[in-house]
Every structure is written in structure tokens, then in C-alpha cells.
Amino acid sequence: MSALTLRRPSRTTSLLGAALGVSLVLAGCGGSNVGGGGSGQAPTGEDCAAYTQYGDLTGKQIEVYTSITAPEDQPHIDSYQKFQECTGAQVVYNGSKEFEAQLNVRVQSGNAPDIAYIPQPGLLATLVRDTGAVKPAPQAVATNVDQYFSETFKSAGSVDGTLYAAPLGSNVKSYVWYSPQAFAAKGYEVPQTWDEMVALSDRIVAEGGVPWCAGIASGEATGWPLTDWLEDVMLRENGPDVYDQWVTHAIPFNSPQVVAALDRVGSILKNPEYVNGGLGDIQSIATTTFQDAGLPILEETCYMHRQANFYAANFPEGTDISENGEVFAFELPPIDPNAPQTILVGAEFVAAFSDRPEVQAFQAFLSSPEWANEKAKAGTALGQSGWISANTGLDPNNLSNPIDKLSVEILQDPENTFRFDGSDLMPAAVGSASFWSGMTEWILGQSSADALTAIEQSWPTTP
């Protein structure tokens, strides 16, 4: 899942919303914010040198429709300021908690937004194939994607070989959160292999502790954190090629490799000695919200919690998130220390329903290093963390949170291999439906084989 809706759901944003900002009503739309600037003659000068490529857009208006609502919307609104000042355009920001349902309604009724931030590639593919309303990415966007993003992200924004959408925000999924201070006090070391992680878990149990905490409750998206667990273990146990076959259904969802991988997840999350630290028994995993699931680390009632970089936003304000602080994260270690480590990632994407010049210019801006750095600085200025981009032109120093900086360094390392969140790539009937519910049934007691077989049977016969 992507951080756009902290999906999870749909999948950061809608979960953390509160009222904010000045609003207006667009035809067929909910509350919207109009960024400052965009009136009068577009200025020129050194500060606008990187924006001259977009031309003079004075008097032009561009609507952005997204699930990102208050308070996470403000850094986005602020990140458009320089574009507006330098081009004369006006960007209208329209954040809605009903985004996914209303986007389809708007498209079908002929009232599509200019730009939409799509939280999953699977939804992008559905919109492209079923509506024909999404415009292929213009050349300026394609050039930026080729220059600043890895092939994994380009592929996720493409449908049937055509690039439709550049990545926007991104996330690194393959993390285990822990407390460096608690580890130091107990004499624990960050595990470098899966076996070392299991040995550490056993040591914690032997010393009277509970090593792991987890939670998968997320409203209609309950179950999604377990999809990330399974995807990460599939990568570590079988490698990226088999993972790709599973995600594209070239092998059945319930293939023996997948059953074995889910059983490995169960060796942690279904072990009553290992979970659910500070929260209850195994079944409490299903009723604990994913936002609350890692907080027992601060109380040392659990010691490890697997979750993406965006989980940083769930720790209380003032928590020291650093290598020697109250909380930090390490990469989920490899099962085979001699095999290449593949990192699970996610992102949301910028889709356009208009090819007007000002819309294409704004698309290109959103795929540029200028926007990524403006967004990073805007979030830092507001004290917000948990947002990163896979754009290699992003300067990590514009981010304030050490885990965000580490995540960007991971994304920018050319030696790393990435794979996109599998459930985000799968057809919606699976990736955001039966996969979530199947994992919930699994943690409540269903066997790996039965849970995966039920998901396999739900796979649509056509994309």
C-alpha cells in the first residue's frame, strides 16, 4: 500500500484528516484550496530560472484531485507556490476522503479533474483500460521519469507498455521498527539475517519479554499490513523473478512457494510467545489499528514492529526518531545472507485527464527535482515527517527526519533492487479486496493453504 492514504486506506492521508484551510466549491467537487499566486504577469528572474520551461500560464487554472486531506494537504499546497509565482498559473487543490469512489463518478459523468493522485497502480490500470480517459504522459514527464526514477517506478506508472503517470510520493516498506535505546540497555544487536532475528526473538522471550507487536485493523482496508509482510517474505525467500510471477498471476496465488512464505510469516505472527506485545494475544492483531500497533515499542512491552517508513508519523510528537533515539528502523533482514536483498516499495502516481498545455506543464513540474525538493522543504517547515520521493534529484538534507533521509538514500542507491508493492499492482478484486480479507481470516486462525486458495479463487479471469 501507498502512503498516500496511509492505506492504507486508500491506502496516509484520509486516516489522519482534520478540518483545515480555506475552501471553495467546484462544480461536482468537495472542499478545495486555491494556492496563492497565479495572478497577474508571471515574474521572471533567477529564482524562476528552472520554471521558464513551463511558459507563461497567467490566468490558467489546474485542478488537483486527491485523497490527501488535512493536515497532510498543506505541504502539497505550499509546494506549488513557486510554480504559481513563476508561471502565473493557479492550482486548485481538492482533497476528498471519498476520492476513490468519487473519482470514478466524476470520470464517468464527464467532469474529470485535470490531475488526480492515484494511490495504487492497479487503480491506474483500471482507469486507463475501462474509461480511456487518462492521458498518456507527455514527453517532458517521460524524460523526467527516465532521468530521475528507477525502472521499478516507471513500470508501475505504465499500462500495457505506455507511461501514463509519474510517481509522486514514495515509501520504503521493508523496515522493522525498534528502540535503539532499549536495544542498547538490553544488550541486543540489530539482526543482520532472518535467523539472527529469530534468535533475538527467542532471547527476548527467554528474558521475559514479548518481541513483536502488530496490528492490521484499518476500516474497510483491514488486513493490508499482512499483505506487506507476505510480499517482503516472498522476495526474501524466492527472489524477484518468482515474486513477479506471483504478482502477475503467472503462477497461482496459492503456489507452494507462497504457502511456505506465509507459513514463515506465521512463525512470527502466529507464535503466541512472540506476539502481541502490550496489546493482547494473536487475535488482537486483527482488532489493533495499524496506527497503534507499533506504539508499545516506546513502553518496551514489545521490541519490534514491521512497517513502512511512513509509520514514523504515528509516534507521539517529540519522539526521538534517530539511530540512537527512542525509535528507529532497520531493514527486514535477508533469509539467505548470500542472496541479493530486494526492497519492497510503494508510491502514488500523477494521472492527467486533460492534455491542455498548462496541465502538461504542471505534470512535468510534479515529476521534477524542483517539486520534490519544494515538497520536502514544505513538510519540514510544518514539522511533518513520513513523506519521501524516489526522485533521485531530491536532496535528503531537505528532510528533517532521519528515517526519511535513510529511506531516500536507500531509494537513490543504484546498487539496490526494488519491487513494487504486490497488492497495489494486482487487480482490485484481489489487491484491495480478497487479499486483505484473506489475510484477516488467516491471522484469525485459517491455514495458509486455505487462505491463499480462497484468494486464488477470487482472481478475475480478465484484467
Q: Which residues contact 45 (CB under 8 A, 6 or more apart)?
A: none
Helix (H) or strand (E) holding 225: helix 224-247
Query: Is pLDDT larger for residue 213 or for residue 31?
Result: 213
Give me the pLDDT at residue 34, please.
Answer: 54
Give me the pLDDT at residue 45, please.
Answer: 64
Residue 307, judged by CB atoms within 10 A of its CB (0-12, 13-18, 19+), counts as buried
HEC readout, 45-111: CHHHHHHHHHCCCCCCEEEEEECCCCCCHHHHHHHCHHHHHHHCCEEEEEECCCHHHHHHHHHHCCC
CA distance 267 to 279: 19
CA distance 120 to 123: 5
CB-based contact 436:428 (threshold 8 Å): no
CA angle in degrees (0–180, nearest 5) for 180-186-190: 45
E strand segments, 125-206:
158-159, 162-163, 166-172, 175-178
Give me the pLDDT at residue 461, please.
Answer: 87
How would you classify residue 110: left for phi > 0, otherwise alpha for psi between -120 and 50, otherwise beta?
Answer: left
Rounded mean pLDDT of 31-35?
Answer: 52
Give me the pLDDT at residue 47, please.
Answer: 87
Q: Model confidence at 100, in pLDDT bands (50, 70, 90)? A: confident
CA distance 27 to 61: 14
Residue 162 has, within 13 A of its CA and on its CB side, a CA count of 13
DSSP 259-327: HHHHHHHHHHHT-TTT--TTT-STTHHHHSBTTTTTTHHHHTS--BEE--GGGGGGSPTT--BSTTSSB
Q: Is the pLDDT of residue 41 over 70?
A: no
Query: Is pLDDT larger for residue 30 or for residue 392?
Result: 392
CA distance 137 to 332: 35
Rounded mean pLDDT of 156-164?
Answer: 97
Q: What tens digit of pLDDT does each residue of 342-370 get? A: 999 999 999 999 999 999 999 999 999 99
Give me the pLDDT at residue 340, please.
Answer: 87
Query: Which of 136, 141, 164, 160 has its CA nearest to residue 355?
Result: 136
Query: Which of 300, 308, 301, 311 has its CA nearest to residue 276?
Result: 301
Rounded mean pLDDT of 314-331?
Answer: 96
Other Cβ atoms closer than 10 A to 47: 11
Q: Model confidence at 165, in pLDDT bands (50, 70, 90)? A: very high
Query: Which of 310, 21, 323 has its CA nearest to residue 169?
Result: 310
Share of the chain above pLDDT 90, in %: 86
Give me the pLDDT at residue 378, please.
Answer: 96
Q: Model confidence at 463, in pLDDT bands (50, 70, 90)? A: low
Give me the pLDDT at residue 3, please.
Answer: 44
Residue 25, judged by CB atoms within 10 A of its CB (0-12, 13-18, 19+), counts as exposed
Q: What tens digit of pLDDT does each residue of 46-98 get? A: 789 999 999 999 999 999 999 999 999 999 999 999 999 999 999 999 999 99
Q: What tens digit of pLDDT does each residue of 273-303 get? A: 999 999 999 999 999 999 999 999 999 999 9
| 115-124 per-residue burial string, b: 16 or more CB within 10 A, e: under 16 | bbbbbbbbbb
CA angle in degrees (0–180, nearest 5) for 204-273-308: 75
CA distance 4 to 277: 28
Q: Model confidence at 33, in pLDDT bands (50, 70, 90)? A: low
Average pLDDT, the chain: 91
Question: Where do the domains of the chain lie, and which CATH numbers do they carry?
Answer: 3-171+345-417 (3.40.190.10), 175-344 (3.40.190.10)
Give me the pLDDT at residue 385, please.
Answer: 83
Other Cβ atoms closer than 10 A to 463: 12
Q: Is the pLDDT of residue 12 over 90?
A: no
Q: Which three cell numbers stand for residue 280?
A: 493482547
CA distance 40 to 88: 7
Query: How would you list the strands of the sheet with 328-331, edge to edge?
Result: 305-306, 175-178, 328-331
Q: What tens digit of pLDDT does each residue of 214-259 get? A: 999 999 999 999 999 999 999 999 999 999 999 999 999 999 999 9
CA distance 74 to 70: 7
CB-based contact 12:313 (threshold 8 Å): yes
Give me the pLDDT at residue 322, please.
Answer: 96
Q: What tens digit of pLDDT does each residue of 434-446 get? A: 999 999 999 999 9
Q: Model confidence at 38, in pLDDT bands (50, 70, 90)? A: very low
CB-based contact 215:290 (threshold 8 Å): yes
CB-based contact 301:152 (threshold 8 Å): no
Q: Model confidence at 144, in pLDDT bands (50, 70, 90)? A: very high
Residue 250, judged by CB atoms within 10 A of its CB (0-12, 13-18, 19+), counts as exposed
